[in-house]
C-alpha cells in the first residue's frame, strides 16, 4: 500500500462485547468494515475524560470537544506514553524548572505508598491518566494477552482483562524480551494497547470497555514485539519491523481502520548471504518506537529501523528523508534538540548518529552532524539535558557527550545491567537496572552520584511519573514510590 492509501479491515474475530447503541445502521456500517467497535455516540466521556451522567451531557461533550480542539481546555495524561509526555524521558516541560518533589531515596520499607503484584510477564511502561494507571501483561508462554487498570491512589487492580489469544506464538529465542513489551498510549477517554501482530485494541477509560480491536496486521517479530504506539491527532501510529515485513501504519483512533500504511523503502542487499543472522531474519527486524518532533513549523515522525532511519509526515505516512546505516534490531528511541535527531542504530555496527532533520530524500553522507561508535547504548534510550546527552550501555557504562560535536565529556560505570530507559526530573538523572537498583546522578560535566536505591526485583520496564511520585514496574510488581510526610525526604 502506498502512503496515503487506505484499505478495509477484514474482521478477524467476533466483537468482544454486545453493542449498546440503538443505532443499528451505524453498527452495521462499521461491522461491514471488519471492525470490532461500539457506537461512539454511546461513550461515557466522549474522549475528553469528562463524565456524561446527567441531562444535557451531549451538549457538554460537544462544548468540551470544541474547547479541546481550540486549546482553551487542557486535558492531558500525566504519563501518556513510553518515555513520558514528550517521548524523550523528560518529566517537566522545556523551560519548566519548578521542582516536583520526587524522592531520591527509597527501599521496600521506605517511601513506598503501595506495592501491587502483577501476574504474567510484561515489560511495558505504565501510562497514567488521573487516578488510573494502565499497563499490559501476557502469559509467559505468549498464549494470552491482557490489559490492566490500577487505581493510582491505592494500587487496587480495577481491571484485568484478556484481550487476545494466540494458539501458536513464535518462541522469543532470548531472555531479554517478552510478549507484552510494547507500552500503551493514553489520552482522555481512551487507552490504546498494542502487542505487535498479536493484536491492538482501544478501550474506553471510563467504562473500561473495548471499543475496537485489530489482529490482522502481519509481522513476524521473531524475537517478540517491542515498538510502542504513538498518538498523533486522530491517528494511532504503529511500527512493525519484522523479519518478513517492515512498515509503519496509522489507524483511525475512533474506528481502528487503517488510514495510511508505508513500507520501509530500504532495498535489502543480503538475500544471498548464507549466515544465520540473515537466514533467520535478525538483520531485518527492529524494536524502536518513533519520536514526533516539530521542525520549521512542520511535524516529523523520526523512526529507526534495520539498516536505515526515516522521517515521515505523520499525517500521511509520506517519507520525508532517510539515512542508511549498517546495524539492525534498533531498540532505543531517538531524541531531538534544535534541528538535530540523535539516533542509535542497533546491533552489529552500533552507532549514535546525529542527523540534521532539514533534508529530503536520501541524506546519507550529507546530513550527519557527527557519529559516535564507542560505548553506545543498545537497549536503553538516551536522554538530553541542555547541551549534554547521557546514555547507558547494557552493561552499565554511562557516557556523557556534548551534543554540539559528539565529544565525550565523561564516562563512568554504574552497577548492573540495563534495559529500562533513564529519565530526567527535578534536576536529577535516574537509571534503573535489571537487578532492581536505581542510580541517581546529578547532570553536568562531572560525574556525581546522588543516591542508590534498591527494590526487590529488577527493572525491564521504563518508569512513569505522576505528580511527585514514581510509578515503577519491576519484573513482578507495580510500585508507587513517593516521599512520605514522616520521612521528610
Of 485, 482, 484, 470, the closest CA to residue 126 belongs to 470
Give the pLDDT of residue 153.
Answer: 97
Rg (CA), the chain: 22
- Domains of the chain are 76-482 (2.130.10.10)
- 3 state SS of 211: strand
Contact status, residue 78 vs residue 219, Cβ threshold 8 Å? no
Of 485, 481, 448, 463, the closest CA to residue 105 belongs to 481
- The percent of residues above 70 in pLDDT, for the chain, comes to 82
Give the pLDDT of residue 279.
Answer: 62
Residues with Cβ within 8 Å of residue 311, at least 6 apart in sequence: 300, 301, 302, 303, 319, 320, 321, 322, 341, 357
Mean pLDDT of the residues in the chain: 86
Cα→Cα distances 271→125, 308, 433, Å: 36, 17, 38
For 18-32, 118-132, 198-212, which range has the lowest pLDDT when averaged over its residues? 18-32
pLDDT band at 406, cuts 50/70/90? very high
What separation, in Å, do the N-terminal and C-terminal C-alpha atoms of the chain show? 55
Give the pLDDT of residue 284.
Answer: 86
State how far Cα 439 lies from the chain centre. 23
pLDDT band at 76, cuts 50/70/90? low
Of 336, 355, 337, the closest CA to residue 345 belongs to 355
DSSP 128: E
Give dist(CA 324, CA 355) in Å, integer: 11
- Order of strands across the sheet with 200-204? 36-37, 210-214, 200-204, 190-194, 185-187
Give the pLDDT of residue 309.
Answer: 97
Give the pLDDT of residue 175.
Answer: 77
The mean pLDDT value for 121-139 works out to: 98
In the numeric block, the cell 531472555 is attached to 175
pLDDT of residue 402 exceeding 60, the answer is yes
Beta bridge partners of 343: 353
For 143-147, 186-190, 240-244, 252-256, which range has the lowest pLDDT when averaged over its residues? 240-244
Cell readout for 67 is 474547547
Q: Please indicate whether residue 30 or residue 246 has the higher confidence score (pLDDT).
A: 246
Give dist(CA 469, CA 450) in Å, integer: 18
In the numeric block, the cell 515521515 is attached to 312
Q: Are strands 291-295 and 298-304 parallel, antiparallel or unpaired?
A: antiparallel
- 3 state SS of 487: coil
DSSP 398: E
pTM above 0.75, yes or no: yes
Query: pLDDT (tens digit, 9 = 90+) per residue, 255-304?
Result: 999 999 999 998 887 777 777 666 667 788 999 999 999 999 999 999 99
The mean pLDDT value for 400-418 works out to: 98
Give dist(CA 373, CA 451) in Å, integer: 30
Q: Please indicate whether residue 282 or residue 181 has the higher confidence score (pLDDT).
A: 181
Amino acid at each position: 500500500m502506498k502512503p496515503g492509501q487506505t484499505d478495509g479491515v477484514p474482521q478477524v474475530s467476533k466483537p468482544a462485547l454486545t453493542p449498546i447503541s440503538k443505532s443499528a445502521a451505524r453498527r452495521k456500517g462499521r461491522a461491514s468494515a471488519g471492525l470490532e467497535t461500539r457506537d461512539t455516540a454511546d461513550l461515557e466521556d466522549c474522549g475528553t475524560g469528562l463524565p456524561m451522567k446527567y441531562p444535557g451531557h451531549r451538549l457538554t461533550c460537544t462544548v468540551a470537544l470544541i474547547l479541546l480542539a481550540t486549546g482553551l481546555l487542557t486535558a492531558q495524561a500525566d504519563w501518556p506514553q513510553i518515555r513520558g509526555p514528550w517521548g524523550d524521558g523528560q518529566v517537566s516541560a522545556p523551560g519548566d524548572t519548578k521542582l516536583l518533589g520526587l524522592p531520591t531515596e527509597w527501599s521496600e520499607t521506605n517511601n513506598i505508598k503501595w506495592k501491587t503484584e502483577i501476574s504474567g510477564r510484561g515489560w511495558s511502561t505504565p501510562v497514567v491518566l488521573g487516578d488510573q494507571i494502565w499497563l499490559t501483561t501476557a502469559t509467559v508462554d505468549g498464549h494470552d494477552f491482557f490489559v490492566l487498570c490500577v487505581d493510582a491512589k491505592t494500587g487496587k487492580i480495577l481491571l484485568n482483562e484478556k484481550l487476545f489469544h494466540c494458539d501458536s506464538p513464535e518462541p522469543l529465542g532470548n531472555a531479554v524480551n517478552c510478549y507484552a513489551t510494547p507500552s500503551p498510549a493514553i489520552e482522555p477517554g481512551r487507552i490504546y494497547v498494542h502487542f505487535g501482530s498479536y493484536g491492538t485494541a482501544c478501550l474506553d477509560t471510563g467504562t473500561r470497555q473495548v471499543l475496537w480491536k485489530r489482529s490482522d496486521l502481519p509481522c513476524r517479530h521473531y524475537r517478540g514485539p517491542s515498538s510502542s504506539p504513538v498518538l498523533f491527532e486522530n491517528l494511532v501510529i504503529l511500527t512493525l519491523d519484522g523479519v518478513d515485513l517492515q512498515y509503519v501504519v496509522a489507524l483511525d483512533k475512533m474506528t481502528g481502520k487503517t488510514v495510511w500504511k508505508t513500507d520501509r523503502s530500504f532495498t535489502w542487499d543480503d538475500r544471498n548471504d548464507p549466515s544465520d543472522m540473515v537466514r533467520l531474519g535478525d538483520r531485518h527486524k527492529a524494536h524502536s518506537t518513533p519520536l514526533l518532533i516539530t521542525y520549521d513549523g512542520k511535524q516529523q515522525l523520526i523512526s529507526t529501523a534495520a539498516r536505515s532511519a526515516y522521517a515521515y509526515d505523520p499525517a500521511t505516512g509520506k517519507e520525508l528523508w532517510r539515512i542508511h546505516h549498517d546495524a539492525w534490531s534498533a531498540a532505543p528511541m531517538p531524541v531531538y534538540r534544535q534541528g538535530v535527531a540523535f539516533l542509535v542504530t542497533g546491533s552489529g555496527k552500533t552507532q549514535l548518529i546525529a542527523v540534521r532533520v532539514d533534508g529530503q530524500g536520501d541524506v546519507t553522507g550529507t546530513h550527519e552532524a557527527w557519529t559516535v561508535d564507542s560505548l553506545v547504548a543498545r537497549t536503553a534510550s538516551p536522554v538530553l539535558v541542555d547541551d549534554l546527552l547521557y546514555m547507558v550501555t547494557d552493561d552499565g557504562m554511562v557516557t556523557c557527550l556534548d551534543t554540539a560535536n559528539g565529544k565525550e565529556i565523561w564516562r563512568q560505570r554504574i552497577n548492573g545491567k540495563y534495559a529500562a530507559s533513564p529519565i530526567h526530573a527535578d534536576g536529577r538523572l535516574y537509571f534503573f537496572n535489571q537487578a532492581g537498583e536505581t542510580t541517581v546522578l546529578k547532570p553536568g560535566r562531572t560525574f556525581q552520584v546522588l543516591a542508590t536505591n534498591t527494590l526487590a526485583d529488577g527493572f525491564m520496564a521504563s518508569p512513569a511519573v505522576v505528580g511527585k511520585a514514581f510509578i515503577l514496574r519491576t519484573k513482578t510488581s507495580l510500585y508507587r514510590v513517593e516521599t512520605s510526610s514522616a520521612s521528610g525526604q
